[in-house]
Amino acid sequence: MPKKIFSEKAGATKNVLIDSMLIDAFEAEDVSKADIGDTLANQPIVYYETNGVTFPEETYENYKGNQYLIAFYEKLYQLETAQKGNVRIAYFGDSMTDGDMIVQDFRNYFQQNFGGTGVGFVAITSESAASRSSIEHQFSTNWKTQSYLNVKYPKRAFGVNGHVFFANDTAKVEWVKFKAGRSKFTSQLDNPTLFYGSAKNKKGEVSFIIGKDTLNKKLVPNNLLNTLALPKSGLKALKADFIKADSIPIYGFNFDDGKGVHVDNFSQRGNSGIPISKFDVSLMKAFQEKLDYDLIILHYGTNVLNYGTKDYTWYDKSMTRTVNRLKECFSGVSILIVSTADKASKYETEMKTDSAVVPLTNAQKRYAVKTKSSYVNLYTLMGGDGSMVKWTEEEPAMANKDYTHFNFRGAKKIAGLLYQQLNDGYKQYKVLRQNRKQPEKEKEKEKSLLDTIFPKDEEEKDAN
């Protein structure tokens, strides 16, 4: 038997792909530089007031960074108390979230507690469509696809899902089909909306087939980002044929009821997270104007562990640039970094936590702190050292025999752990919000507003 199941050389193993930008980052950086973790570890993390709220200071070891979720928590608070508006989350991940794993349960927890239905944004094609239960998704094989995982300079800018699609086959029509999912929150295709880019082609059309009805709609690619909404709700199935739509960048469909919480799953096997730094700022601002994200979650690490190193300074630097690019693209949006989960490798004759796991979680915490992002240490949440062995070998098992990926049972538990940390922070926020000191100007503004809404009657005015 080999001493280790997984190679210590950089490269792909079964179910673990490596993106091209990760390879470039690894090879370009001087990995001999000193780890700055000790410097951060010796300093308490003290927060400054945001909208009258200040979370207690934290140690580096137990860092969560809920202070940086205040904007997100306030949107949740307004949704919960006024029951108006909506909250939107973009969940970026790798093979851990393939097929809507983890994310579908994470979405369900929010929609159970805050309302909302719909699976959110879905790309035109997906490598994991066959394994996804939150929506049934089929598509023709003649779509031309470019992904930020392996294309540095796309023909047109990548969409918010990291892909851009073209219906350039003039011989056969490109099509995509959707059918509502199995859970009560995805049992309808609400407000189907197509997202597409700009082009000189003014002849493109989409033929929507709904049951026995066909609805033809022209594509008007005049703006950097365009939408085409169907005047239909509560659909169970939908097919879209793209006719004479060559050269028009197509991004995907969105399905939601416009209320409560919506969570978009932007998973990509093999992604390290670094390719997000290739996002076009102008196009992302256009997506933000239409989708209005309140929280972006970055859940990566599976593919980074495969590099036979314990010094992740190079990854820390690359992901710091990535997070800063996201802040440029989605101004004011809260960001949450989810660390790698535990992963086991074979040492001698025993499966143990891979020696690279803890160093990687430390690097992920460092760039969370440096970029003022919130942080979830998934490794410790699931039990820390040796937890993946337990999750894989216990009955019923919660992880696959690759000692890396969760099964559906484990994915649901992970979603619950992530939701719980966010919800615990939200509960703390509500207490801090209730006890906050309002500036005098804010008090006067609030008093004036109340007087306008509830004017005093004449007797009360005279008495005063």
Note the pLDDT tens digit of each residue in 63-97: 999 999 999 999 999 999 998 889 999 999 999 99
pLDDT at res. 328: 97
Q: What is the mean pLDDT of residues 380-407?
A: 97
pLDDT at res. 182: 87
**Equal fold, 1-94+270-464 vs 116-261:** no
The rounded distance, in Å, linking the Cα atoms of 201 and 242 is 13
Q: Express as a percent the part of the chain with pLDDT over 90.
A: 78
Angle, CA 295 vertex, CA 290 and CA 297 arms, to 5°: 120
Q: What's the chain's average pLDDT? A: 89
| CA proximity to 266, closest of 97, 51, 144 | 97
pLDDT, tens only, 293-309: 999 999 999 989 876 77
pLDDT, tens only, 196-223: 999 999 999 999 999 999 999 999 999 9
The rounded distance, in Å, linking the Cα atoms of 414 and 421 is 11
Q: Which of 94-98, 189-193, 233-237, 296-300 has the lowest mean pLDDT?
A: 233-237
Length of the chain: 464
Q: What is the mean pLDDT of residues 381-402?
A: 97
The rounded distance, in Å, linking the Cα atoms of 223 and 208 is 22
- Mark out the alpha helices in 29-159 (DSSP H runs): 37-41, 70-82, 103-114
Q: What is the mean pLDDT of residues 320-340?
A: 97
Q: Is the pLDDT of residue 422 over 70?
A: yes
pLDDT, tens only, 242-256: 999 999 999 999 999
Structure tokens at 302: 């599976």
* Class of 116-261 in CATH: mainly beta
pLDDT at res. 83: 86
pLDDT at res. 43: 80
| CA proximity to 406, closest of 340, 456, 309, 360 | 340
Q: Which H or E run includes 390? A: helix 387-393
Query: Looking at the domain 1-94+270-464, which fold is it?
Result: Rossmann fold (3.40.50)
Q: What is the mean pLDDT of residues 156-175?
A: 96
pLDDT at res. 439: 56
Structure tokens at 192: 């189907």
Q: Is the pLDDT of residue 101 over 70?
A: yes
CA–centroid distance for 283 within its chain: 17
pLDDT at res. 45: 93
* 389 three-class SS: helix
pLDDT at res. 9: 43
Q: Which of 20-24, 98-102, 379-383, 446-450 has the lowest mean pLDDT?
A: 446-450
Q: What is the mean pLDDT of residues 433-449?
A: 64
| Exposed / middle / buried, residue 406 (Cβ in 10 Å: 0-12, 13-18, 19+) | buried
Q: What's the farthest any 2 CA atoms get from each other in the chain?
A: 93
Task: Tell me the three-class secondary structure of 269-334, residue by residue.
Answer: CCCCCHHHHHCCHHHHHHHHHHHCCCEEEEECCCCCHHHCCCCCHHHHHHHHHHHHHHHHHCCCCE
Q: What is the mean pLDDT of residues 274-302?
A: 97
pLDDT at res. 437: 75
Q: Which residue has the higher pLDDT, 17 or 433?
A: 433
Confidence of residue 5 (pLDDT cuts 50, 70, 90): very low
Q: Which residue has the higher pLDDT, 155 or 456?
A: 155
12 dihedral zone (left: phi>0; alpha: psi -120 to 50; beta): beta
Confidence of residue 231 (pLDDT cuts 50, 70, 90): confident
Virtual CA dihedral for 158, 369, 90, 220, nearest 10 degrees? -40
Q: Is the pLDDT of residue 40 over 90?
A: no
pLDDT at res. 329: 98
Close Cβ partners of 138 (under 8 Å, ≥ 6 residues apart): 129, 176, 177
Q: Which residue has the tokens 């989810």?
A: 338
Confidence of residue 178 (pLDDT cuts 50, 70, 90): very high
In the chain, domain spans:
1-94+270-464, 116-261
